[in-house]
């Protein structure tokens, strides 16, 4: 054919992620990940979350990335740990996107409270995050907002209410570290922003943590649904840290809320399909789970 286009399109060799293949870090391939995913930071928390499952389909672990897929109350779900920090979240989200199509992603983690009405063991449901980290600056303009999906926020609020867990809703600050990056003094080292926690609190930021903004920005760019719920492990005003049975109870409340939130989101999706729409609205609500 004289008019045929005989150009050879060469793949971009800079691309490290091969869509549709088993991924380098999380070691998951197509079909091994559910559409509804919990993202804890701690890899050991993955196994504790899976104790709630009806059955387990697969388990895998590589470095800090531990994953389990199974059934929870009849709904197929996955859990993948991200490790600590936004750089690890970038790895996990990028590889999830290579083997799935628009998954729902819910972070279940720990955080430090910045507001006086927040107690140890409470839950913090994020509406948006202050980007006090650099990972997302490699993807978006510095003024780009890190915003939770409204369906995810509504589902997590509904889940916490159903389960009777005390919770707060508001803006989170995502830091790039635990000590100096959150304004914590380090006797052997100078820190640049010693009043950072006070500044964030005065701007009514609810809590500090280390992963939310990366998840929310990358999910927004990929047109995926993402949300965040964290247990309060520390009070930055009083210096208190959670421990013992109270810590176990706080983690359990966060995990239960995340899992129930996934069920609510799956229910929302069914209601959208029945209504022939791609956007959930309160008038569609039917409490079926």
Catalytic residue IDs: 25, 95, 184, 236
Tell me the three-class secondary structure of 35-97, residue by residue.
CEEEEECCHHHHHHHHCCCCEEEEEEEECCEEEEEEEECCEEEEEECCCCCHHHHHHHHHHHH
Burial class (CB in 10 A: 0-12, 13-18, 19+), 60: middle
Tokens matching residue 33: 């990940």
State the pairing for strand pair 65-72/55-62: antiparallel
| Closest to 177 (Cα-Cα) out of 92, 107, 84 | 84
| Contact (CB, 8 A) for 254 and 108 | yes
First-to-last CA distance in the chain? 59
CA atoms of 155 and 31, how far apart (whole Å): 25
Q: Which residue has the tokens 């091994």?
A: 32
State the pairing for strand pair 75-80/240-241: unpaired
| Contact (CB, 8 A) for 196 and 183 | yes
């Amino acid at each position: 054919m004289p008019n045929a286009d005989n150009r050879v399109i060469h793949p971009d060799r800079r691309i490290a992620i091969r869509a549709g293949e088993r991924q380098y870090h999380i070691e998951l391939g197509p079909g091994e990940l559910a559409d509804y995913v919990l993202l804890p930071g701690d890899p050991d928390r993955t196994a504790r979350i899976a104790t709630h499952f009806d059955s387990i389909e697969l388990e895998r672990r590589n470095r800090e990335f531990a994953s389990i897929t199974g059934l929870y109350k009849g709904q197929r779900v996955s859990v993948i740990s991200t490790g600590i920090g936004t750089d690890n979240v970038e790895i996990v989200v990028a590889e999830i996107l290579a083997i799935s199509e628009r998954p729902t992603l819910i972070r279940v983690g720990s955080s430090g409270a910045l507001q006086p009405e927040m107690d140890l063991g409470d839950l913090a449901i994020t509406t948006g995050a202050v980007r006090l980290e650099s990972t997302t600056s490699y993807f978006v303009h510095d003024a780009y907002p890190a915003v939770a999906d409204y369906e995810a926020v509504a589902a997590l609020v509904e889940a916490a209410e159903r389960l009777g867990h005390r919770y707060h809703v508001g803006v989170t600050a995502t830091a790039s570290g635990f000590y100096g990056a959150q304004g914590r003094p380090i006797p052997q080292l100078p820190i640049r922003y010693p009043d950072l926690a006070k500044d964030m609190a005065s701007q009514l930021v609810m809590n500090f943590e280390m992963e939310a903004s990366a998840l929310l920005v990358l999910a927004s760019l990929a047109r995926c649904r993402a949300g965040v719920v964290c247990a309060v492990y520390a009070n930055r005003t009083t210096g208190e840290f959670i421990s013992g049975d109270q810590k176990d109870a706080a983690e359990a409340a966060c995990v239960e809320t995340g899992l129930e939130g996934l069920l609510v989101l799956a229910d929302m999706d069914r209601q959208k399909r029945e209504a022939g729409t791609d956007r959930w609205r309160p008038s569609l609500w039917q409490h079926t789970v």
